[in-house]
A = this chain, B = another copy of it.
Amino acid sequence: MNIPLTEIINFLSNDLLEIKGENADKIVIKYLKEPAEVDEFTLDWINPAKENKQQIAEDTNAKAILVDEEIAYSEIIKTQGKTLIVVKNPKFAIAQIANEFFVEKITPQIHPTASIHSKAKIGKNVFIGPNCIIGNCTIGNNVTIEGNNYIYDRVDIGNHVEIHAGAIIGSEAHNFVEDENGCKIKFPHLGKTIIGNHVVVGANSVISRGVLSDTIIGDNTKIAQLVVIGANNVIHENCAIRANAMTSGSVAINKNSIIAPSVTIRNQKTIGENCFIGMGAVVTKDVPDGETWIGNPARKLR
């Protein structure tokens, strides 16, 4: 891959503040790399949160560096012939560049091996990969369902949603009623599963559908791999549910909260806004807004 640096600079447009250096139009970018592996064909960037940012810019082997305004175009950098591309947030800019230039675009298609319900409503620019089973559901625009997925009936999927391989949306959770002999009969799941816009569901994760109400995943919430979301959960926008986490039935998680890996949350419990639930925590109580809880059982971190 050979990308003229000028092409990348054009792409940044509004986010670009300034170019420092003379060589932008001579530089060709081949790849992004980990700091230890950066060379002259790498587009490097400096995390605004780092200390010694100036030092890092002077030490890197890269010729082109995305930086924030705090990094000076020093004599050393000038002598090295480096080009500084000044943006508000280099970390965000590099992610945008990575998505634009370094990821193979997926061509929308419905793979011939997918089984699609005759009443399913499917939007524009949708990719449905091999062996997907798509029930009587609604899928928005610009959705990717990678492959080996099972999307049950009564699932609504918004726009710009990404569902990784093997993930299952809308299956029944564990909900049984016992008769006088203790014999379990299933209380069926009659609700829906509603997935907002810009949601990501990781590989082999499972989202349960609702029993009488609906399971709802809010816009921009990102669910990692091997996660279980219980029935009737309402997960608001912009949450992160990390790998191997599990929520029981009727859990609510308010916006901007982070559920770290391997967390377990008891049924009926509510997690507030902007909470952080630490790795492996077992949450048995409601967690108020803005708090961090850790441990088994989980307690507020002071």
Beyond A96-B185, A168-B165, A190-B102, is A213–B34 a contact (Cβ under 8 Å)? yes
Q: Is A266 an interface residue (CB 8 A)?
A: yes
A89 vs B98: C-alpha distance when bound (angstroms)? 54
Contact A178 B92 (CB under 8 A): yes
Known contacts A130-B133, A164-B168, A184-B240; 9 additional CB pairs below 8 A are A37-B212, A115-B131, A131-B131, A133-B147, A184-B198, A202-B206, A224-B228, A228-B244, A280-B296
Question: How many chain copies does the complex carry?
Answer: 3
Q: How far is the CB of A173 from chain B (nearest CB, A)?
A: 7
Q: How far is the CB of A211 from chain B (nearest CB, A)?
A: 8
Determine the chain B residues whose CB is within 8 A of the CB of A183 once the complex forms. Answer: 220, 238
Chain A interface size, under 10 / 10 to 19 / 20 to 34 / 35 or more: 35 or more
A166 vs B203: C-alpha distance when bound (angstroms)? 10
Residue of chain B at shortest CB distance from A172: B164
Q: How far is the CB of A171 from chain B (nearest CB, A)?
A: 4
Q: Is A230 an interface residue (CB 8 A)?
A: yes
Which of A5-13, A56-64, A77-85, A256-264 lines the interface with chain B? A256-264
Determine the chain B residues whose CB is within 8 A of the CB of A133 once the complex forms. Answer: 129-131, 147-148, 165
Q: What are 16 A-B pairs at a CB distance below 8 A?
A: A111-B115, A115-B130, A115-B147, A133-B148, A164-B171, A164-B172, A166-B168, A171-B202, A172-B202, A206-B225, A206-B226, A226-B246, A228-B244, A243-B248, A244-B244, A248-B261
Q: Is A290 an interface residue (CB 8 A)?
A: no
A70 vs B94: C-alpha distance when bound (angstroms)? 66
Contact B95 A185 (CB under 8 A): yes
Determine the chain B residues whose CB is within 8 A of the CB of A180 once the complex forms. Answer: 88-89
